[in-house]
Structure 1
Amino acid sequence: MPPAPRGAVVCGPSRYLREDERIHIADRLREKATMRQIAAELGRSPSTISREIRRNRTVLHDYGTWYYRPHAAQARADARRPRPKDRKISRSGELRTAIQEMLDEKWSPEQICQALRTRFPDRPEMHVVHETVYQTLYLQGRGELRRELAGALRSGRARRKPRRQAQQRQPRYSHPMVMISDRPAEVEDRAVPGHWEGDLIIGKNSGSAIGTLVERSTRYVMLLHLPADHGAEAVRDALTSTVTTLPSRLARSLTWDQGSEMGRHHEFTLATDIPVYFCDPASPWQRGSNENTNGLLRQYFPKGTDLSDHTPEHLLAVADQLNRRPRKTLGWETPAERLAKLLATAS
C-alpha cells in the first residue's frame, strides 16, 4: 500500500488523549520527531506529550531502554481513569499504621509526610503528600483512618472550609467599598499619625462584642463599648462618638475588615469625614497592629466569656493600661508617650 499522507491529527474537544493520537505519537517517535513537533501536530501542549510518554511507555529494566506502544498506552490510561479510586493510605496497612501513630502524637499532616520521607528514603510506596492525608482524614467515616477528626487536626474542623475565588464573591455591602489598595501611601509607612485599624472581639455565643481601635503610628488603643448589640448601626454610632473626641490631625482614616458590622460605613464617613478602607478577604495581616492588639486584649477578655459584663469605665482602664505598656516596636516607649510627643510636635 502507498504510504498515507501525513498531516496534523484533528484534536477533538476531549481533554484526554485519544487512541489515534497515541498512534500518531508512536509513529512520530519512530521517525525521531521532537516532543514539540509532535505537540504542534496534535494541537497539544509539549508537556502533555512528554508526560504521556513518561507515564505510559514500557521500560526494559535489563537493558535500560524503553519503547512506546500506543495500544498498550491506551489500555494503561483506561485502567487509571475509573473513579473513585482506592486511596494510597487505604491500600497499605503499614503506611496507615505509621500515619496513625504520628497523628496520635498530634503531628500535622505536613510534618507526617516529611517524617515518612526521612524514615523511608528508599521506599516511595511509603511517601505521600500532605493533601493525601487531609483527604483521607476528611473521608475517615469510610474507615480509612480510625480517628476522631476533630482531635486529629489542629483546626478542630470536621469539614473542609470552602475557599471561593475572589471573583466569585458577592458584593459585601450595598454601598461601594474603598479597598486597601487605594489607601494613601502615607498610611503604609506609619510616618503620619491619625490612621487607625479597627475590629471587633466577640464574646460568648456571639452575643456581645467590644470594638477595638489601634493607631498605626503609635499603637495607641481605644475600645468601643457594645454591650447589647454589635450590628452595623450600633458600631456606626460607637465609632462616631469615639472618633469625634479626637483632634482632627489624629482622625485621618480607618482600616477595617469586611465584617457585616461595617455595613453603614458610608454613613460613618459622612458624619466624621474619615474615609474607611477595607482589607481583602481572608487577609488579617493587612491589619497587623490591630490583630496583635486583639491578642493582647484576650488576656483581659478571654474567649467564651460574656463581654457585656464589662463597663465603659473598665474598658477605659484596660486601654489605659495597654497604652502605658512599653513596646519594643516603639523603642521601648509607651503608646501614650509616643502620642504625647507627636501632639507636642504638631502644636
Structure 2
Amino acid sequence: MGYSNKQMSQAPVGARRQWAADRALRPPMRSPGRPEPSRAVQRDFWRRIASGVTTVEAAEAVGVSWPVGCRWFRHAGGMPPISLDEPTGRYLSFAEREEIALLRAQDVGVREIARRIGRDPGTISRELRRNAATRGGKPVYRALVAQWKAQQAAKRPKTAKLVGNDGLRKYVQERLSGSVRRPDGTIVRGPETPAWKGLNKPHRQDRPWATAWSPEQISHRLRIDFPDDESMRISHEAIYQSLFIEGRGALKRELVACLRTGRALRVPRARSQNKPQGHVTEDVVLSERPAEAADRAVPGHWEGDLVRHEALCNRAEVKDLRRCAVAAA
C-alpha cells in the first residue's frame, strides 16, 4: 500500500531517504575518487624527468597541472614508482579497451569483438566481467574505468625488507646516523671519503655525514659482518628508496641529512649535471657596451657616481684627475 501525501508530510524534518545500500550486509564502500592518469602519461612524465627537465616543464608537456606533477615527484621521492618500459602485448592496451567499449555499445558479441581486435574470446569475456563499471546495478563497460581497474589489480605491494627485519633495520640506522660506537665509547666512522671541496657551501662541513656511513658502504659491509646470514643483505638502492619514498615507514625521515648530498629527494643525474644559469647573460657583456657608456662622458656611466661613503654620505666622487667632483642630491 502506498503512502498518502498526509503521511509523507508527517515525516520528521531533516530525515534522509533510506537507500538500498543501507540495507546491505556489507559496509559502505569508500569512493576511490577520480581515476588517475594512465600509465602511459606517467611513464612519459618520468622519462622527461630523467632527461633533466624541471618538474613543472615535464607536467606541462604530458598534459597535467604542475601541482599534480610536483606531487608525483615528491611522493615518489624523485624515483619512478613504475617501470618505464612499454608494456608487452600480453595485456590489453588503452586503445584496445576503447575499441572494446565502442563495439560493446553497438551490441557486438564477444566473439566478434575478439575477432576484430585480434584477441582470444576468453580475454574479452574476462575483461568485460572484471573491469566493467556498475551503473545503476547494470554493468556498463567504459574504457577509462576499465583501464584504471586493470592498473589497480596489477599492483603487487609487498613489505619493504627493512620493515620486516628488525635486526637489519637497526644495523642500517646506526650506520646511517653515525652512532656506531666501540666499547670505550669512541665513534666508529665509516670508510674514509674524499675531503669536502665545497668552498661555496662551508656550512655543509658540519653535517652528520661527517661520521655517517653511506648506503653503498653499509651494503658492502654487511657481507663482511654477516658472511653466512643471507637475511642480512640489502642493496644500497633499497636503502635510498626507504629514505626517499613516502609511506615506506622503514627508516626515519631525518636520516636524509646523513647522506653525502643531504637531499630529501632524488635528483635525476641529467638535472644535477645541468650548468647553472649565469647572472651575466650574453646581452650585457662589456664588449657590447655602447660608445657613450664606454666614453664615460655622461653622469650615470661613471664607476663612482653611485658610491656612498660613511664620511661623505652626501656626495659621490669619481677619483679621476680627468673628472670633476659632482655634488650628490
Q: Fold-level match, TM-score > 0.5? A: no
Structure with a larger share of its residues in helix: 1
**Which is greater in Rg?**
2
Name which structure has the greater RCO, CA cutoff 8 Å, separation 6+: 2
**TM-score of the two chains, using structure 2 as the length reference:** 0.28
**TM-score of the two chains, using structure 1 as the length reference:** 0.27
Structure with a larger share of its residues in strand: 1
